[in-house]
Each structure stands twice: as C-alpha cells, then as structure tokens.
Amino acid sequence: MSDKPFPIPDDVTSIDPSDLYERLDDGEQFGVLDTRAPADVDDWRIDGDSVAFANVPYYQFLDGVPESALDQLPEARPLYTVCAKGLSSKFVADVLDDAGVDDVVAVEDGMEGWETVLASTELAADTDATVVQFYRPSSGCLSYLVVSDGEAVVVDPLHAFAEEYVDAAQEYGADLVAALDTHVHADHISGVRTLAREYGVRAVVPDAAESRGIDYEEAYDTLGDGETVAVGDVAVEAVHTPGHTTGMTSYLVADAVLLTGDGLFVESVARPDLEDGAEGAPEAARQLYDTLQERVLALPDETLVAPGHVSDGAEQAPDGSFTDTLGDIAASMPALSRDRESFVEFVLADMPPRPENYEDIIATNLGHEPLDDDTAAELERGPNNCAATTDAMTGQ
C-alpha cells in the first residue's frame, strides 16, 4: 500500500448520514462505494436491497482512476462514497468527478457519521400507550420509548443517544421517568446509567441480572419477575425470560407489546453463549427453549413482539417497524416447533462470531470499567451478532 498523502477537497458534494438513511428506508436505488480496506468492510457496511455495493480502497485512486476501479463501480446513481471518517471518501469522490464519473456524493463523517443515525417509528400496537421503536442502522440495535399520560420510560437505551430519548419524550409531551435494561448487554453500551447520571432518570435493571456483579456508581432499582413499572395509565410488567443470559427479562406493555430484548427476534432466537461461554451454551440453550415454550409462546398470538436487535434478514412490518405478532413468528420460524434437544442442537450449530469486544462491553455495562463517549464508540463499533445464527430461521 502506498503512503502517498492525498488532498481533502472542501467543495465535494456530500450528504448527511441521516438523509442517506431516509433514502435507504424509502427504498431508493443508489450505489455505495466503500473506500476502506476490505478487512474493515467485512460484516459492517451500508447495505440494503436497493443498494448496489462495491469496495475499492482509496489507495487505488492515489494516482488517478485505474480502469480496474472503473469496472468495479456500481452503475446505480447517485454513487455515495464512504470511508471510516469521511476523509478518503471525499478524496475519492473528487477524483472520480474529475475523471467524468457523474453524480458522486460523499457521506459526511463516513461510518463514524453512520453510527450517529437513530431512526424512530411509532408502533401500530393495540394499546392505549404510545410505543416508539428506535433503530440504529449501523448496528441493528433497537430501543423503545413507552409513553402514557405525560410519563415515559425507555427500554434498552443506548449510551450514545441518551439526549435523544429525553427529547423524544418531551416531543410526546412526557417526562422521561425511568430507563430499563432487559439484561446486561454484550454488544453495545447501555444508556441506563447515563440517563440516571445526566438527566436524573430512575435506573432500573432486572432483579435476576444483579447477581452478575452489577456495580454502578449511580443508584438503581431492580425489578423482579411479575413486578411492574407504572407509566401514566399503563403498566410495564417484567417477565423473566432467561436463556440468552440468566438475567434476561422481557417487558410486557399493557398486555399487548412484548419487548423481548435479545430473547426472541422477529427472524431468529437468542444465542446462548455470551454469559458462560461455549461450555455453558448447551444448558443455556435448554433454558432458552423452556423460556420460549413456557413463558413467551404461552402469550396470546396477537401479542406484538418488539425485539432488541434486527438482522439483515428481517423485514419491516407495514408500520415500518421491525416487529411481528407472536403468532406469525411462531408460524414462520420452524425452530420454535422443534423438541427440546433438537432445538438445542439447531441453535448451537450455526452461531456467528461473538460481538467484537463483548467481554469489555459486558464489563463496562456491569460498572467494572469506566465509561466515556470515545471508549463507548470504539467498543460497540460493528455488527451486534446477538442472534443464534447469521441467517434468518424462518423457512427452515
């Protein structure tokens, strides 16, 4: 690789990452040219059904535009160039423009900018509460705001977006009164302590998760199985759903919406190896099976399942959210119809790589490591990998 420096032009046409996500969400056809090194692109990139993607590292453009690079460019336009921080992609956009390639636009701040995108969708749920799903497209993380009669709680908030949750509650005419985690997360930094420390929000963790060694400087409350948090006129009930972790707890909103965290996704089930490793995974998978059969699938079919993550295999519901009814999930996911040992064997057979830095993320979320913005961003960069398989379980 050449070490030749390159100029960063200041007059390149660019797009804000949030605007790019809106175009992606609208299904617009466009191309993405990722100028990072191939190893940095694996499993973490801007992609979608409407995206024509190519990866040509910036250093191939240091001496102009080689014919081989032109041959790799997507035909779709606009063509958005993206890199890690928005520098080399501007350089490449400028070089391509000078070479006569039309409609080339650089993504502001690159993948670091993409990490700052947080989209929101109000769920079409059969409940008097307003439930808003927040989606972070860079990682697939989902979090939720539950609003009723001037009060709001947030479930599985991300540290990076603490202020956004407070602002969202205010936009609904509510005060954010509590922040709840479903479990000790292994793929992203929780915002529960951040909201408690910076905004005076009540911090709540599952009673079953406390035994993992939670050691917060901030005061927090615990919530046991069957206990509730009042939000205006509705109740949010804790439902202990172990398997992904021993403390994994779902939250049932007004008997209508089940916030499942990492226990059950719309296209897969939880991976069972992030708490006790590969040795403990078989027993955790058996526990997950019991949880799904006895606690989750026992709920009414019309219960709306709202998970903590979404993968590339998930499809959006008609309201634009990543949700589905429990009955439809059960019908479309044959893994849920297997017997106990067959289920365990299936779940353990195709687990993806563990989330990057997951042990450090867990330590941070337990309060054992210091928390700051830069460290948090570095730790949680990349895909979440909290599902049991890299592929959707539907249709198998």
- 3 state DSSP class of 356: coil
Question: For 309-341, what is each residue's pLDDT tens digit?
Answer: 998 767 899 999 999 999 999 999 999 999 999
Quick: pLDDT tens for 42-85: 878 999 899 999 999 999 999 999 999 999 999 999 999 999 99
User: Quick one: pLDDT at residue 8?
Assistant: 87
Q: What is the pLDDT of residues 350-391, one digit of tens each?
A: 788 887 789 999 999 999 998 888 888 888 886 666 677 645
User: Does 119-379 carry CATH code 3.20.20.70?
Assistant: no
**pLDDT: which is higher, 343 or 352:** 343
What is the sign of the dihedral through the CA atoms of 286, 288, 289 and 294?
positive
Parse the chain into domains and list their residue ranges.
Answer: 14-114, 119-379
Query: Would you state the pLDDT for residue 1?
Result: 42
State the chain's mean pLDDT as an integer.
93
pLDDT in tens, 135-194: 999 999 999 999 999 999 999 999 999 999 999 999 999 999 999 999 999 999 999 999
pTM score: 0.93
- Please give the angle made by the CA atoms of 391, 392 and 394, to the nearest 5 degrees: 145
Q: How confident is the model at residue 393 (pLDDT cuts 50, 70, 90)?
A: low
Query: What local confidence, expressed as pLDDT, does residue 392 receive?
Result: 47
Helix, strand, coil: what percent of the chain each, to 5? 30, 25, 45
Q: pLDDT grade, residue 294 (50/70/90)?
A: very high
Q: 213-217: list long-range contacts, CB under 8 Å, 24+ apart.
A: 213/366, 213/368, 214/184, 214/366, 214/367, 215/366, 215/367, 215/368, 216/367, 217/193, 217/367
Contact 243, 287 (CB under 8 A): yes
Beta bridge partners of 119: 135
281 in Cβ contact with 270 (< 8 Å): no
Percent of the chain exceeding pLDDT 70 equals: 95
- What's the length of the chain? 396
281 vs 356: CA distance, rounded Å = 18
Could you tell me the fold of the domain covering 14-114?
Oxidized Rhodanese; domain 1 (3.40.250)
pLDDT of amino acid 381: 80
- Give every CB contact of residue 349 below 8 A, 6+ residues apart in sequence: none
